[in-house]
């Protein structure tokens, strides 16, 4: 199991959080996704190494910007 963290900017409400969770959860190998609205911390547990580009694209799909930590 791999755990990776990203900083997400632009989220302002619970719906934003839900959108990010939904998109990131679609990525292959993702087991669990935690998003903290206050800090913008996105934490992903996955069964394989994720590509930063894939995660960034998924968060972009939700309408927000992610940066690897
Ligand atoms: Mo509503 Mo959260 O537009 O962006 S989903 S504030």
Query: pLDDT tens digits, residue range 17-49?
Result: 999 999 999 999 999 999 999 999 999 999 999
**Model-level pTM greater than 0.90?**
yes
The interface predicted TM-score (ipTM) is: 0.82
Ligand 1, atom nearest to 14 Cα = 2
| CATH code matching the domain that covers 2-46, chosen among 2.40.37.10, 3.30.70.100, 3.10.150.10, 1.20.59.10 | 3.30.70.100
What pLDDT is stored for residue 30 in this prediction? Answer: 98
pLDDT score recorded for residue 46: 98
- Distance (angstroms) between ligand 1 centre and the Cα of 15 equals 6
What's the rounded mean pLDDT across residues 43-69? 98
Neighbours of 7 (CB within 10 A): 13
Candidates 10, 16, 18: which one to mutate for ligand 1, based on the most atoms within 8 Å of Cβ?
Answer: 16
Q: Is 37 in the pocket of ligand 1 (CB under 6 A)?
A: no
- Work out the pLDDT band at 53, boundaries 50, 70, 90: very high
């Amino acid at each position: 199991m791999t755990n990776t963290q990203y900083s997400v900017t632009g989220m302002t409400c619970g719906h934003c959080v839900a959108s990010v969770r939904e998109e990131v959860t679609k990525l292959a190998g993702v087991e669990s996704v935690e998003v903290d609205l206050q800090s913008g911390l996105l934490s992903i547990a996955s069964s394989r190494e994720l590509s930063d580009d894939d995660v960034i694209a998924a968060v972009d799909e939700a309408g927000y910007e992610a940066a690897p930590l």
